[in-house]
Structures are given as C-alpha cells and as structure tokens.
Amino acid sequence: MKKLKLLTVLTIITIILAACGSKNNESGNSNSASGDDVTYLIASDASYAPMEFMDKDKITGFDIDFLAEVMKEAGLKYEVKNVGWDALMESVRQGTEYKAAISAVSITDERQETYDFSAPYFESTNMILVKEGSGIKSATDLKGKKVAVQQGTTADDLMTGIMGQGNTDLSRFENNALALMEMDQGGVDAVVADIAIVREYMKNNPDKNYEGLLDETNFVSEFYGVLLPKGSELKAKLDPAIKTVIENGTYAEVYKKWFGEEPDTAALLSAE
C-alpha cells in the first residue's frame, strides 16, 4: 500500500514537472512570435530641424514622428537618444548599445559596405544656401569660395569632389547648426546641406536675405533610411512596417504636418 502511494505521488510530481516545462516553452515561443519585450535604443543627432531637433528637453521632428508610427505598427518598444553624429555612426556600427539610428541618414553605396539600412522613407537632395545677389548659381560656382558643410555627410562628400581633397576653403563642422552660424558671422560664402534643413533655416530667418539653390546636375536625389548594424534582425521588422505606414496614409499625415505639402510616396515605394 505504501509502495503504491509512493508510486502515485511520484507519478503526480512527474506530471506536474512536465506541465511546468511545457508552459515555459510555450511562453518562450509566444514571446518570440508576438514581438519583443526589449526596448530598442535608437540614436539620433538632434540638430537637423525639421527632421530632428531639441524642443527644450525633448527630441522632436519629422523623423521622430515617423519613427513613432513605424514602431507602433511593428509592435516594438524603443527609446530615442540624442548622441551627436559621429557617436551615432560609431555606436550603430558596433551594434551593442544602440540598435539603430534615425537622423536624416542618406543611403549610399559606401555606407552600405559598413551598415544595413531600412527601406527608404524620405527623398532628399542637397541645397546651397547663399546670400541673395551672390552671383552663385550652381555647385561648380563654389570653386574658389569658402563653403561650410557638416563633416561626414553627403554634402561633405559632394563638395570634396567638386572643390578637391584638402581644399582649405571647405570647412567641416560637427553639425549644421555650427556651419550655419559660421555663415551668419561672415566666415563662409555658402553652406551646403540637405534641402529640408536649408529651407527650414530660411523660413525661420527671413531677415537674413538668404536664398536656397538647387543643382540637379551635381546634386542628385538621395533617400534616407533607418541606419542599422550589419546583419541586424531589425530590418525584417521595420521594412514591412515602413511600407504599411507609407501605403495607409499615415506617412502623408506626418509629412504634411512638418512640410505643409503632399509627399511623393510613389518615388519612395519604387526606390525599394
């Protein structure tokens, strides 16, 4: 009788343990299938108004609103931190603390050797900011002029190609705010930066008598993407969410909020 009771108890314990093990496995599978419990740290350089900038102690801008919609669609938790451009590029390359970056980062062949990118989410080009009546009409007119750019950007690459490697007339700054300040102080004849940044600066400073010049010959269209470490698993989660946000009209709402016009979403979707 005692042996039978003991056998019964052992059998019950075995069933309970087996049930516990099954429950843990199911919980693990459910978490991986339904989404991430982790909070992804996203780096940004909040000096690119209207794309991303500081409003008191809060990061705001088009990129930030767009990212919020994408992460909501993807069901992912995240936090954006302002770290500066150079730190942003290096931290995402390492892929340890920061798993992505959003900061008007242009997708280029050179960058794709080191990073992965999400699907394109914004079409841009570089623009030349000059004083009205400067006589400058194109990027090639900047040869022999003093020009400011943000270091490590496509504007830096383009103007280095036009003005020549090592040209001391080309000044590189940590961010566009410093480049624009240099122009305000008369230190340079022009600033070359992304079109959204130049237009926003002119809008906010109408008394400075600046004008923005497009040069479709020397400055071709670029597309921004969310910057990712090589081999990032986030790409497979972000790309479908980006496509949905663009196709369902949410993207257009965010775009019109910041730029006051309809976006060319067909160009974005075809750029994939």
- Does the pLDDT at position 24 exceed 70? no
Q: Which residues contact 156 (CB under 8 A, 6 or more apart)?
A: 149, 150, 172
Residue position matching structure tokens 């979403």? 265
Stretch (H or E) spanning 122 = strand 122-124
- Judge whether 5 lies within some domain: no
- Judge whether 11 lies within some domain: no
Distance CA 199, CA 221 (A): 16
* Phi-psi domain of 270 (left: phi exceeds 0; alpha: psi -120 through 50; beta: other): alpha
Q: How confident is the model at residue 25 (pLDDT cuts 50, 70, 90)?
A: very low
Whether 132 and 168 share a structural domain? yes
Whether 203 and 137 share a structural domain? yes
- Does the pLDDT at position 7 exceed 70? no
- Judge whether 19 lies within some domain: no
- Does the pLDDT at position 10 exceed 50? no
User: Whole-prediction pTM value?
Assistant: 0.81
Distance CA 51, CA 258 (A): 9
Residue 272: the pLDDT is: 63
Arithmetic mean of pLDDT over the chain: 89
Three-class DSSP category at 128: strand
Beta bridge partners, 228, equal 116
Mean local confidence (pLDDT), 232-244: 98
- Judge whether 269 lies within some domain: no
Distance CA 272, CA 269 (A): 6
The tally of domains found in the chain comes to 2
Domain harbouring 88, CATH code: 3.40.190.10
Note the pLDDT tens digit of each residue in 63-92.
Answer: 999 999 999 999 999 999 999 999 999 999
- Judge whether 2 lies within some domain: no
In the structure encoding, which two tokens stand for residue 7, read together?
């056998």
Whether 200 and 230 share a structural domain? no
Note the pLDDT tens digit of each residue in 198-208.
Answer: 999 999 999 99
Q: How confident is the model at residue 37 (pLDDT cuts 50, 70, 90)?
A: confident
Beta bridge partners, 80, equal 42
Whether 191 and 240 share a structural domain? no
Residue 79: the pLDDT is: 98
The residue range of the domain holding 60 is: 39-123+223-261
Phi/psi of residue 221, nearest 5 degrees: -65, 145
Distance CA 171, CA 150 (A): 8
User: Does the N-terminal peptide bond of residue 50 adopt cis geometry, omega within 30 degrees of 0?
Assistant: yes
Rg (CA), the chain: 25
Whether 134 and 119 share a structural domain? no
Whether 91 and 204 share a structural domain? no
- Judge whether 28 lies within some domain: no
- Judge whether 98 lies within some domain: yes
